[in-house]
Amino acid sequence: MERRFGELKRVLGPATGIAVCVGSAVGSGVLRTPGEIAAALPSGPWILFAWLVGATVAALDIFILAEWAASVPRVGGLVAYLRTAFGPAVAFVFGWLILLITWPGSIASVAIAIGEVVAEGAGSLATDAAPTHEARAIAIFVIVGLAALNLVGIHFGARLEIIFTSLKVTLLLGLLVAATFAVGSRAAATTGSVAAFPATPGLLAVAFGGAMIKVIFTYDGYADAVYLSEETRNPEKSVPRVLFISLIIITGLYLFCNIAFLSVFGARGMANSKFVPLELMQYAFGASGTKLLTIAAVAVMLGAVNSYLLTGPRIARLLAEERLALPVFGRVTSRGVPVAATLWLAVVSVILCFSNSYGELLEAVVPIISLTTIFVAAGLWLERWRHPERPRPFRVPAIGLVAGGQILLGSFLLYNGAAFVAEKNPWILAGDAAAVAAGLLIYYFTRTQRAAR
């Protein structure tokens, strides 16, 4: 395998894993979704509850992924686990979806947000209008530039991610603390109900599901270190530890942000705000607040794009090892760089920059994330039943409750999130379904052709 594709060296430590998880999760979502989530929910407790539900879904997933990563420490993360549990067809379809929609869609959405911020200032994140030509051009420059930097080598890409993540967390926390204290007694928090939920339980669930689409997207990336397991030192112990530490950091940061916003504006003020972080910065620091937030926003989002470009190509490597993708997508250089796979992600991401707005990209990605989560949880439960003798350096306690709870939660979020998207833009769901169908057709066609030889 190494002779055919090139050697994957175990050179990465826990710092890289934490940087990748935090870097992937903490992107444009934490800046632009708090107001949208508040507008869909009736009060401050409901807002914090939504973020805690997101943390619960992530925590259940972390337990499941920690056992998977410890017992199957392969490159490709979730796709490797699906291959182990369900076989090559399921692994190919999910790998295809990730490399065609989830990863490029996430890269494109964040890069477009960077383009909007650089071209028009942080206030541009307050709208979901189609990106301007200038914003698209900047987004493409960011994708191409970071892809080129990741072609230098795995060490360089990892160090770059550590720098981006350290910078983003420091800037974001520093600005929020400074702004909250600067506002002080001038805070104009308002209380009371923001929006009355629909009267029927079904409509209530759809409304909450719509809010959770944004929450889940904002959390997504919390476990991306699993894609680097085969290049991580002592992955059986270090990867589970990295996942738990990362989730604590991410959840703490998101709750702190929303508590800070609520303390200044209240739930009603958040719901009425076009862009909560910007209004906080302007309220605290005047005109210079926009410049400060623009700098912080760019730092936050650059780390997310770099993280996706660092981890995504490892999925293609796994597919190539399993003869589910062309061999060229599995090859790495002596510096550990999967050149063809990195270029694939960059090209597809650039194409998506021309075709979608941020909101449409988000709505296309989240159903696939929820579906993947359900299959990974079910796969671990199945593996425990089929192979109870397999060594497991980390074991999920009460696997039935954890995996079952994740499947139920994931199914609830998938159904209600899909219902929300179907009502708003059914063509997005049709596109996701078409991608699944195309993946299955391609898999069975290539399998038939291979058998015929």
Higher pLDDT, residue 354 or 67: 67
Q: What is the pLDDT of residue 65?
A: 93
Q: What is the pTM of this model?
A: 0.85
Please check whether residue 324 is in contact with residue 349, taking contact to mean a CB–CB distance below 8 angstroms: no
Three-class DSSP category at 3: helix
Q: Work out whether the CA dihedral 315, 317, 320, 326 comes out positive or negative.
A: positive
Calculate mean pLDDT across residues 78-96. 91
Is the per-residue pLDDT at 195 higher than 60?
no
Per residue in 228-278, pLDDT (tens digit) is 999 999 998 999 999 999 999 999 999 998 988 888 888 888 888 778 888
Distance CA 186, CA 171 (A): 23
Mean pLDDT of 31-43: 83
Name the domain count of the chain: 1
191 has pLDDT over 60: no
Residue 413, pLDDT > 90, answer no
Q: How confident is the model at residue 3 (pLDDT cuts 50, 70, 90)?
A: low
The crossing angle, in degrees rounded to 10, of helices 235-272 and 276-285 is 70
Higher pLDDT, 445 or 150: 150
Distance CA 332, CA 303 (A): 23
What is each CA distance from 67 to 51, 53, 162, 334, 383, in whole angstroms? 25, 22, 25, 30, 11
Q: What is the mean pLDDT of residues 334-355?
A: 90
* Whether 436 contacts 97, CB under 8 Å: yes
Of 76-85, 130-139, 437-446, the one with minimum mean pLDDT is 437-446
The yes-or-no verdict on residue 369 having pLDDT over 90 is no
- Express each pLDDT in 272-311 by its tens digit: 877 888 888 887 888 788 888 888 888 888 988 999 999 9
CATH number reported for the structural domain that contains residue 58 in this entry: 1.20.1740.10
**Sign of dihedral through CA atoms 391, 396, 397, 401?**
negative
User: What's the pLDDT at 185?
Assistant: 45
3-state secondary structure of 256: helix
Q: Is the pLDDT of residue 390 over 60?
A: yes
How long a stretch of residues is the chain?
Answer: 453
**Average confidence score pLDDT of the chain:** 84
Write down the residue that tokens 């926390």 correspond to.
173
- Which of 318-322, 324-328, 380-384: highest mean pLDDT? 380-384
Q: Domain range holding 220?
A: 2-452
